[in-house]
Amino acid sequence: MKQGLDDPRRSDPSVRAAAPPEDSSDGGMLPVPMARSYVAEQVYYFDSSPARVFQGLTDSETLVQWFLSKAEIEPTRGGVFHFEWIGGYRMDGRVLGFVRNKSVAFLWTDQLPSGRVIETRASFQVVVRGKGTLLKLRHSGFTDPEHFAECSARWAYYLTNMKSVLEYGTDLRSELDW
């Protein structure tokens, strides 16, 4: 089966050609869906030291000021964490990478409404910029576009709140937000 110029599969990026099955009589190519992966990347400037921003990501007491309702974390590569959010959502995971005051990466495990469990990687990099600090988030491994969109929006919400807490001491969260 050959694709003509007006064949809609020709321009669909989610479809690629694959080798025909052994018994294909016309020798044509069959469409095979490609797996998609989504990556959330966000950058925030903090009028705070790199050590203070890094503490905000890795210290249990600081995490509950802007992000969680309960936090337990072993801030070391290979350490474990237990996070709970306002509203009762919980997550247990591992610290995949840890370089004090520079970077930290978490194995993030979410359960989708369908019941499917998804593992993603949330990596943070702390970089000196002028008199402050850039916080770079890269959250990768999403295969579900709705899960990706929801997590991206929540990161924007929470990291903006982190900035508010570290710079002004004001927690913007409300139990009614979610």
CATH number reported for the structural domain that contains residue 147 in this entry? 3.30.530.20
Asked if residue 176 is part of any domain, the answer here is no
How many Cα atoms within 13 Å fall on the side-chain side of residue 166? 26
What backbone torsions phi and psi does residue 166 show, to the nearest 5 degrees? -70, -35
Same domain, 13 and 58: no
Q: Which residues of the chain have pLDDT under 70?
A: 1-35, 178
What is the value of pTM for the model shown? 0.79
Same domain, 20 and 69: no
The pLDDT of residue 34 is 56
Domain count, the chain: 2
Which residue range forms the structural domain that includes residue 153? 38-168
Contact 79, 73 (CB under 8 A): yes
Beta partners for 17?
Answer: 31
Same domain, 19 and 75: no
Asked if residue 175 is part of any domain, the answer here is no
The pLDDT of residue 46 is 98
Contact 115, 84 (CB under 8 A): no
Three state DSSP letters for the chain: CCCCCCCHHHCCCCEEEECCCCCCCCCCCEEEECCCCEEEEEEEEECCCHHHHHHHHHCHHHHHHHCCCEEEECCCCCCEEEEECCCCCEEEEEEEEEECCCEEEEEEEEECCCCCEEEEEEEEEEEEECCEEEEEEEEEEECCHHHHHHHHHHHHHHHHHHHHHHHHCCCCCCCCCC
Asked if residue 174 is part of any domain, the answer here is no
Same domain, 156 and 132: yes
The pLDDT of residue 47 is 97
Same domain, 59 and 115: yes
